[in-house]
Amino acid sequence: MTGFDHGPLAAAPLDDEEAAALARLLHAIADRTRVAILSAVLHAPGGELNGRQIQDLLGLRQPTASHHLRKLVRAGILDREQRGPYAYYSVEPDAFARLRAIFSEG
Amino acid sequence: MTGFDHGPLAAAPLDDEEAAALARLLHAIADRTRVAILSAVLHAPGGELNGRQIQDLLGLRQPTASHHLRKLVRAGILDREQRGPYAYYSVEPDAFARLRAIFSEG
DNA sequence: GAAGGGCATCGAAAATTGTCAATGGCAACA
DNA sequence: TGTTGCCATTGACAATTTTCGATGCCCTTC
């Protein structure tokens, strides 16, 4: 729900609120567990994993996995699709492009 | 001193240690104050600011500014050059390219 | 409808982090 | 050498974040 687009950092000086918003997006990935989740989902066959698979692959407790997945989804980095009893997570197609755009030059 | 190069997230699955290292790099920018510092330095005339200027521009206490600047320098995102009594900070030339590389596709 | 698995949410504890006042070192200059 | 300004570091406190067990809901299957 929070799929913001951030302009290039190099384009114009950021005001306080813009800096905070950008920091929140980056903060969503700036965690070893969430980086590991992102990598696992990215390289999973089919590009998706369900919650249980993520827990098992990374050795996480269920509430811990749920907590991190929630953050990634809210930041617009992961997509969540409920299929039957499973919640499948995949990388939001535009996520990396949005992140690259932030660090694009000129 | 810590100018690591991280491979593309999409290239290969990350082990635990690689995920932690990448998270540390991203964590260095994932803070509203440090994003604001980065933006200010980036758009400063000459591409550099000294500590005092950063404090004044952002309204930070001196130890707080020093704390954040230290983190950015250690992460290899800012360069620090002491000139007389002033410490001038500028964006490490390769910093944005390294960050873009992390989020490059395929 | 009863049972089992997957998942979210709710507190609470533990760890990490941001902020600050105080202190001291270093450079420049009188 | 005394003074002034810039900056780093220390130690302490407040706020945020991570992690966890416990609980309950939803879906599937029997």
pLDDT digits (tens, 9 = 90+) for B46-87: 999 999 999 999 999 999 999 999 999 999 999 999 999 999
φ/ψ of B2, rounded to 5, equals -115, 60
Q: What is the spatial distance, in angstroms and rounded to an integer, between the CA atom of B6 and the C1' atom of D20? A: 32
DSSP A25-82: HHHHH-SHHHHHHHHHHHHSGGGEEEHHHHHHHHT--HHHHHHHHHHHHHTTSEEEEE
Residue B26: CB less than 7 A from any atom in strand C:
no
A19 pLDDT band, cuts 50/70/90, is very high
CB A28 within 8 A of CB A38: no
> What rounded mean pLDDT belongs to chain A?
95
CA B55 to chain centre: 16
Closest by CA to A34, choosing from A60, A53, A56, is A60
Global confidence as pTM: 0.95
Residue A22, class by beta-carbon neighbours within 10 Å (0-12 exposed, 13-18 middle, 19+ buried)? Answer: buried
A99, A62 Cβ separation under 8 angstroms: no
Distance (Å, rounded) from C-alpha A77 to C-alpha A93?
Answer: 8
Rounded mean pLDDT of A68-77? 98
Separation in Å, CA of A38 to nearest CA in chain B: 8
Distance between CA atoms of A46 and A31, rounded to whole angstroms?
A: 24
User: Between B20, B33, B103, which is nearest A96 by CB?
Assistant: B103
H/E element holding B50?
Answer: strand B48-50
| Closest-CA distance of chain A to residue B94, Å | 11
Cα B97 versus chain centre, distance: 12
Q: What is the pLDDT of residue B1?
A: 44
Side chain identity at B52, as an amino acid letter?
R
Q: Smallest CA–C1' separation from A60: which nucleotide?
A: D19
A14, A55 contact by CB (below 8 A): no
CB contact under 8 A, B100 and A103: yes
**What's the rounded Cα separation, in Å, for the pair A104 and A62?**
37
Q: Is the pLDDT of residue A1 over 70?
A: no
Protein residue with the closest CA to the C1' atom of nucleotide D8: B66
Helices (H), B30-102: 32-43, 51-58, 62-74, 95-102
